[in-house]
Amino acid sequence: MKFFLDTASVAEIREGAALGILDGVTTNPSLVAKEKRDFRKILEEICEICEGPVSAEVTEVTCEGMLREGRSLAKIAGNIVVKIPLIKEGIKACRILRGEGIKVNVTLCFSPNQALLAAKAGASYISPFIGRLDDISQEGMQVIQDIRQIYDNYNFPTEILVASIRHPMHVVEAAKIGADVATMPFKVFDQMLAHPLTDAGLKKFLDDWKSTQGK
Ligand code: E4P
């Protein structure tokens, strides 16, 4: 399973990359807005830190507009993946950009049917937002399960990028289903690592070791 960080914070990406297990980054307009800096500059920096795929989202909603913006974003660095919303115009734009060799992450996916359409359009990644489904009392993880089954049935190469992850158990469930990628806030990365028994165990080992010194 690949791990992406879902952030536009260069500091967080630097810290995540230092662990040596960061496979990519996803951003969206809301995450970029938090940074209060030039979008293209942020992307340039992120692409220098992370060699893996870095998703950058278009803000146009017509096919023509998305193509213009997507082509321009793709020029920033070789690892940019253009993120396109799952609307009719987006499906059209996805097919065209793929024909030009530009990788596309189709975002704002909330159903297996939407994911099927994105795969048909040649998306490199599909981003189902599980946390936002859970928020409205729908089972987000069931959508991941359904998409996995559908993609496997037809050997679609589109990678399932589980998005809107809110806590570590979302990652465990997504991994059990066999999702390709989990993109998560930095906080969840930290939460995956933490365990009170690890901390207590390490403290005991170090205390016991110290007690043998000087004897
Ligand atoms: C994914 O690419 C999105 O940026 C993100 O996961 C959305 O998460 P949220 O629902 O927590 O905003």
pLDDT score for 195: 96
pLDDT tens digit sequence for 161-202 = 999 999 999 999 999 999 999 999 999 999 999 999 999 999
Distance from the CA of 147 to the center of ligand 1, in angstroms?
18
- For 73, residues 6+ apart whose C-beta sits below 8 A from its C-beta are 43, 56, 58, 80, 82
Nearest Cα residue to 27 out of 44, 15, 19, 18: 44
Pocket test for ligand 1, best of 82, 164, 189 (most atoms within 8 A of CB): 164
Average pLDDT, the chain: 97
Asked if pLDDT for residue 215 goes beyond 90, the answer is: no
Asked if pLDDT for residue 113 goes beyond 90, the answer is: yes
- Domain hosting 117: range is 2-213
Domain count, the chain: 1
Six token digits for residue 12 = 């967080």
Nearest Cα residue to 109 out of 164, 66, 152: 164
Residues with CB under 6 A from ligand 1: 6, 26, 28, 107, 127, 129, 131-132, 163-164, 183
- The structure's pTM equals 0.96
Query: CB-side exposure of 143: number of CA atoms within 13 Å?
Result: 28
pLDDT tens digit sequence for 134-171 = 999 999 999 999 999 999 999 999 999 999 999 999 99
Residue 128: CATH number of its domain: 3.20.20.70
Active site residue 36: no
| Atom 11 in ligand 1: residue holding the nearest Cα | 164
* Ligand 1 atom, smallest distance to 131 CA: 10
Number of other CB atoms surrounding residue 63 within 10 Å: 19
- Count Cβ neighbours within 10 Å for each residue of 173-184 and write b for 16 or more, e otherwise: bbeebebbbbbb
Distance from the CA of 129 to the center of ligand 1, in angstroms?
7
Distance from the CA of 135 to the center of ligand 1, in angstroms?
13
